[in-house]
């Protein structure tokens, strides 16, 4: 797999493709679940919005104020959980996100953790608002 550098960090083609053409960017009005989280490592932040229907993630959008790895992780992770049940989506890990991207440089793993945290927090928000 080819790779290219952004600000001195080498990324593979899949990461660069998601960075250049990120999927699911945006907001959802009156979301069923919402979270804003930050990375304690770098101070970057992101917002995650969920639309849930019949226990499944019907739509998911985000705004990421972060680096190439954070944007690529947001893009691929939201693709991974879209259409999944809440429990399946809540099982997502940074390891699965990084694997789906074909790898990230070691010093950029924390960027995928921010995305994992945002999905878990948005689901927790959904659950807290929709307790039976």
Using CB under 6 A as the binding rule, whether residue 42 contacts ligand FES is answered as yes
How far is 108 from 54, CA to CA, in rounded Å? 35
Q: Which residue among 111, 113, 122, 123 is the active-site one?
A: 111
Selection from 14, 46, 16, 21 nearest residue 117 by Cα: 46
82 or 94: CB nearest ligand FES: 94
Conformational region of residue 61, where left means phi above 0, alpha means psi within -120 to 50, and beta covers everything else: beta
Is 67 one of the annotated active-site residues of the chain? no
Q: How many angstroms separate the first and last alpha carbons of the chain?
A: 48
Using CB under 6 A as the binding rule, whether residue 52 contacts ligand FES is answered as no
89 to 128: interface string for ligand FES, x by CB under 6 A: -------------------x--x--x--------------
Selection from 73, 64, 61, 81 nearest residue 15 by Cα: 73
Q: Please report, as ranges, the residues that interact with ligand FES according to CB under 6 A.
A: 39, 42, 44, 66-67, 69-70, 108, 111, 114
The residues annotated with a catalytic role in the active site are: 42, 111
């Amino acid at each position: 797999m080819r790779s290219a550098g952004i600000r001195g960090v080498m990324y593979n083609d899949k990461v660069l493709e998601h960075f250049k053409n990120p999927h699911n960017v945006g907001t959802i009005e009156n979301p069923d679940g919402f979270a804003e989280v930050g990375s304690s490592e770098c101070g970057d932040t992101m917002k995650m919005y969920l639309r849930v229907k019949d226990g499944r993630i019907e739509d998911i959008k985000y705004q990421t104020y972060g680096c190439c790895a954070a944007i690529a992780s947001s893009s691929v992770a939201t693709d991974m959980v879209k259409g999944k049940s809440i429990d399946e989506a809540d099982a997502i890990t940074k390891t699965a996100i990084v694997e789906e991207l074909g790898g990230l440089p070691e010093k950029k793993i924390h960027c995928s953790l921010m995305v994992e945290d945002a999905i878990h927090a948005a689901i927790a928000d959904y659950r807290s608002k929709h307790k039976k």
